[in-house]
């Protein structure tokens, strides 16, 4: 819209202005940013890839070692399972919450938004610290259970503990994209469906949910990808039997100085991330434009 | 009268809100613990852990290091990221899209992979434990946030205003300074805030490139959690929680006032 109207408004002189004012060369403004990216992102990642094939000896030995070791395969599988759990639990918590944010009054919405934004902006280390305290054997949750006369449960250094902590840390990343899509859904479509005889529940499932899918896709993919590479929370809440791929990479490089093996694991993680993104990106884009056209 | 599904939804959201906030709130009473332990419920009352945070050099220097690095990162990333946002928004659609995808990759690359790569490069370049090293890595991580924030305000910005100004004889710099900049300033400022927080909070890369002589606050918190149960960490958590809440409330109020006028 904005590109079509000025042509009509200013007539023949327009192209002259534009070429003087908006030269095609503005892409060059991105050069400093790209430079920073090459030095601090592309080059280091290239080093990781190269080392995974050359250290200690040239070849694919590190990858063969990675996939042949039963321990590594277990950790790889566990990393994906945990990521899937965290994504599922966050989605179950986030969808109704985001929906509630769109239907409540202004003041309640402000409170709900604060509940999401404060943890979202608060340091991840501090939030993990809170979970370390809560999940301890003598922690709040277990004191509460004991108070109820129930037997305490082992939470810290267990997989459920890791999943609980990661879900809380990543939940805002699920709520925010779903909310931002839901906010834009035209509720008159629901009224229209109901006026045509649909029950509220059916109108919700058939009209509202499909329209909210782009937000769900975005949230799911962000949370899943962040879970795969999560380091601090699983490292602090997990134990030897709930170790994740990130900790294994760190261990190989910092403790064992196996740059090649650590690098190979890192490359596996990196490739998994980008494959997921490549699958998800067209899905999100397609749904997004179609919903915008309908709205 | 609220229907049954509404009540159920309300209760569910209350639970989620508790899950989001409560874990952090638990840290507050523990920061006033009378004993040297991180147990809950706390025993007695004292301000000693706050006192310790402001007097113990481990905590004060790591705090000032973080503040100093985050301020430099905020300035550098905001300038570089804003320029990039202009480049991306005003480039041809395909080039712009590609460039944008490239510039936001730091957000999705797994932290540990990035950290070992940067560590390897820094070992060779003698950048481990230097301010330059921290600023470079954190700027790269902060650029996506600045880019997204500034791009959002550039997209709603009406370029005809620039055309109008230049048709009235304003030079390109004057147009930028008097028309473009004031209109996109909220985007730039929120980008700067994001950049500051990104650097101030960053821990994974920091854990790898830190040295005994240059530690940031998150690294100090991490080592305090893993090594000893020093309640100072709860005091730090409480202070960060209060600071974060105040910034967000101020931002929301500011946004609401802007929306009204």
Q: Do the Cβ atoms of A246 and B102 come within 8 Å?
A: no
Q: Report which of A203, A186, A221, A179 is spatially closest to residue A292, judged by C-alpha positions.
A: A186
The DSSP 8-state label assigned to residue A230 in this structure reads -
What does the block give as tokens for B109?
A: 């690359």
Q: Which element (helix H / strand E) includes B99?
A: helix B93-103
Torsion of CA A164, A166, A172, A175, to 10 degrees: -60
Selection from A251, A227, A283 nearest residue A81 by Cα? A227
List the single residue in A93, A130, A231 with the smallest CB-CB distance to B111. Answer: A231
User: Are A128 and B225 an interchain contact pair (Cβ–Cβ within 8 Å)?
Assistant: yes
pLDDT of residue A25: 58
Distance CA B86, CA B80 (A): 10
- What gap in Å lies between CA A93 and CA A219, rounded to an integer? 12
Q: What is the pLDDT of residue A285?
A: 64
pLDDT at A121: 86
Shortest Cα distance, chain A CAs vs residue B140, angstroms: 6
8 Å CB contact of A229 and B113? yes
Give the relative orientation of helices B217-227 and B232-260 as an angle to the nearest 10 degrees: 140
Instruction: Provide mean pLDDT across the span A40-54.
Output: 96
The distance from CA B34 to its chain's CA centroid, rounded to whole angstroms, is: 32
Sign of the C-alpha dihedral, residues B220, B222, B225, B228?
A: negative
Calculated CA dihedral for residues A119, A124, A129, A130, nearest 10 degrees? 10
Q: Which of B40, B106, B120 sits opposite A140 (nearest CB)?
A: B40
pLDDT at B116: 96
Distance (Å) from the C-alpha of residue B250 to the closest C-alpha of chain A? 11
| pLDDT tens by residue, A99-110 | 999 999 889 999
Q: What are the tens digits of pLDDT across the range B116-127? A: 999 999 999 999
Cβ separation A21–B247 shorter than 8 A? no
Provide the Cα torsion B223, B227, B229, B231; round to 10°: -30
B252:A114 CB<8 A:
yes
Partnered with residue A131 across adjacent β-strands are: none
Q: Both ends of chain B: CA-CA distance in Å?
A: 35
Q: Which of A40, A47, A39 is nearest to A266 (CA)?
A: A47
**pLDDT > 70? residue A287:** no
Could you tell me if B114 and B205 are in contact, meaning their C-beta atoms sit under 8 angstroms apart? yes
Q: Mark A108-145 as b/e (b = at least 16 C-beta within 10 Å).
A: eeeebbbbbbbbbbbbbbbbbbbbbbbbbeebbbbeee
Q: Which of B16, B134, B257 to mutate to test the interface with A (most CBs of A within 10 A)?
A: B16
Q: Residue A19's pLDDT is what?
A: 45
CB distance A120 to A172 below 8 Å: yes
Q: Block means of pLDDT (10 residues each) for chain B, length 261 residues?
A: 79 94 87 80 85 93 96 97 91 86 92 96 96 97 94 85 87 86 90 93 95 94 86 91 88 70 42
Average pLDDT over residues A16-20: 46
CA B30/CA B45 separation, integer angstroms? 9
Are B60 and B54 within 8 A, CB to CB? yes
Q: How far is CA B185 from the centre of its chain?
A: 18
Least Cα separation, residue A182 to chain B (angstroms): 16
Which residue(s) pair with B214 in the sheet?
A: B211
In Å, the largest CA–CA distance within chain B is: 72
Residue among A26, A44, A100 whose CB faces B13 most closely: A100
Is B17 close to A138, i.e. CB distance below 8 A? Answer: no
Give per-residue pLDDT as tens, B32-45. 988 877 776 777 88
Name the DSSP letter for residue A243: -
Residue with token string 């070692």: A65
Residues A159-218 have pLDDT tens digits of 999 999 999 999 999 999 999 999 999 888 888 888 888 888 888 899 899 999 989 999
pLDDT of residue A146: 83
> CB distance A27–B218 less than 8 Å?
no
Alpha-helix runs per DSSP H in chain A: 5-10, 14-21, 31-37, 43-54, 61-68, 70-103, 106-121, 124-135, 140-147, 159-183, 188-195, 200-203, 209-228, 232-237, 245-250, 259-294
- Contact call for residues B53 and B59 (beta carbons, < 8 A): yes
Using DSSP, state whether B211 is helix, strand or coil: strand
User: Considering only alpha carbons, which residue of chain A is nearest residue B194?
Assistant: A121
Q: Which of B108, B156, B248 is the mutation pick for testing A, counting most A CBs within 10 A? A: B108
Quickly count: other Cβ atoms within 10 Å of residue A157's Cβ.
16
Whether pTM exceeds 0.80: yes
Q: What secondary structure letter does DSSP report for B129?
A: T
User: Closest Cα to residue A79, out of A213, A258, A194, A226?
Assistant: A226
CA distance B142 to chain A (A): 11
**Could you give the residue ranges of the DSSP H alpha helices within chain B?**
4-30, 48-55, 57-89, 93-103, 111-125, 131-156, 160-167, 172-175, 181-201, 204-209, 217-227, 232-260
Contact B24 A118 (CB under 8 A): yes
Residue A213: both structure tokens together:
């899918």
Flag whether pLDDT at A15 surpasses 60.
no
Which residues does chain A have within 8 Å of residue B225's beta carbon, measured at their own beta carbons? 125, 128-129, 132, 236
Average pLDDT over residues A89-115: 94
pLDDT in tens, A243-259: 999 999 999 999 999 99
Q: With 90 as the cut, is the pLDDT of residue A39 above it?
A: yes
Shortest CB distance from A40 goes to which of B26, B140, B247?
A: B140
Percent of chain A with pLDDT over 90: 55
pLDDT at A241: 84
Q: How far apart are CA A82 and CA A17, in angstroms?
A: 57
Q: Which residues of B touch A32 (CB under 8 A)?
A: 79-80, 83-84
What is the number of CB-based contacts under 8 A between chain A and chain B?
A: 263
CA-nearest of A62, A249, A90, A78 to B208 is A249
A139:B172 CB<8 A: no
Contact (CB, 8 A) for A246 and B110: yes
Interface ipTM: 0.89
For residues B161 and A247, give the distance between their C-alpha atoms in angstroms, rounded to a whole number: 52
Is the Cβ–Cβ distance between A63 and A76 less than 8 Å? Answer: no
Q: What is the pLDDT of residues A117-163, one digit of tens each?
A: 988 888 888 888 888 888 888 777 888 888 888 888 888 888 999 99
């Amino acid at each position: 819209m904005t590109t079509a109207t000025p042509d009509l408004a200013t007539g023949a002189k327009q192209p002259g202005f534009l070429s003087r004012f908006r030269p095609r060369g503005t892409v060059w403004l991105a050069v400093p940013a790209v430079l920073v990216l090459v030095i601090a992102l592309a080059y280091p990642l290239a080093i990781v890839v190269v080392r995974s094939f050359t250290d200690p000896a040239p070849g694919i030995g590190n990858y063969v070692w990675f996939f042949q070791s039963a321990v590594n395969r277990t950790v790889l599988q566990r990393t994906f399972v945990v990521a899937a759990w965290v994504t599922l639990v966050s989605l179950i918590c986030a969808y109704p919450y985001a929906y509630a944010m769109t239907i409540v009054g202004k003041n309640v919405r402000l409170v709900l938004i604060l509940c999401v934004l404060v943890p979202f902006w608060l340091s991840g280390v501090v939030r993990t610290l809170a979970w370390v305290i809560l999940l301890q054997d003598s922690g709040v949750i277990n004191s509460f259970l004991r108070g109820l006369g129930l037997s305490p449960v082992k939470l810290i250094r267990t997989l459920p503990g890791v999943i609980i902590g990661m879900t809380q840390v990543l939940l805002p990343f699920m709520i925010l994209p779903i909310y931002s899509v839901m906010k834009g859904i035209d509720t008159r479509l629901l009224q229209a469906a109901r006026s045509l005889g649909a029950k509220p529940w059916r109108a919700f499932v058939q009209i509202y949910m499909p329209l909210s899918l782009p937000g769900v896709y975005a949230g799911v993919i962000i949370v899943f990808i962040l879970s795969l590479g999560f380091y601090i929370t699983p490292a602090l809440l997990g134990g030897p039997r709930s170790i994740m791929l990130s900790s294994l990479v760190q261990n190989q490089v910092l403790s064992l100085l196996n740059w090649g093996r650590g690098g190979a694991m890192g490359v596996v993680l990196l490739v998994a991330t980008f494959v997921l993104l490549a699958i998800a990106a067209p899905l999100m884009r397609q749904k997004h434009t179609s919903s915008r056209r309908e709205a | 009268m609220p229907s049954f599904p509404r009540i159920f939804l309300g209760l569910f959201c209350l639970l989620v809100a508790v899950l989001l906030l409560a874990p952090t709130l638990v840290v507050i009473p523990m920061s006033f613990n009378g004993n040297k332990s991180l147990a809950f419920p706390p025993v007695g009352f004292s301000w000693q852990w706050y006192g310790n945070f402001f007097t113990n050099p481990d905590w004060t220097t790591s705090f000032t290091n973080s503040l100093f690095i985050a301020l430099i990162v905020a300035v550098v990333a905001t300038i570089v990221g804003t320029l990039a946002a202009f480049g991306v928004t005003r480039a041809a659609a395909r080039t712009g899209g590609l460039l944008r995808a490239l510039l936001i990759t730091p957000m999705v690359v797994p932290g540990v992979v990035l950290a070992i790569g940067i560590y390897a490069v820094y070992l060779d370049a003698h950048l481990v434990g230097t301010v330059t090293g921290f600023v470079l890595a954190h700027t790269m991580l902060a650029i996506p946030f600045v880019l997204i924030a500034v791009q959002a305000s550039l997209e709603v910005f009406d370029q005809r205003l620039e055309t109008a100004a230049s048709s009235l004889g304003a030079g390109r710099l004057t147009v930028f300074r008097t028309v473009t900049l004031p209109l996109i300033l909220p985007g730039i400022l929120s980008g700067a805030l994001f950049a500051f927080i990104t650097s101030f909070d960053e821990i994974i890369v920091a854990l790898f490139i830190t040295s005994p002589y240059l530690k940031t606050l998150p690294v100090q918190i991490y080592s305090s959690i893993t090594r000893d149960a020093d309640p100072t960490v709860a005091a730090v958590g409480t202070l960060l929680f209060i600071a974060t809440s105040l910034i967000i409330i101020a931002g929301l109020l500011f946004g609401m006032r802007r929306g009204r006028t």
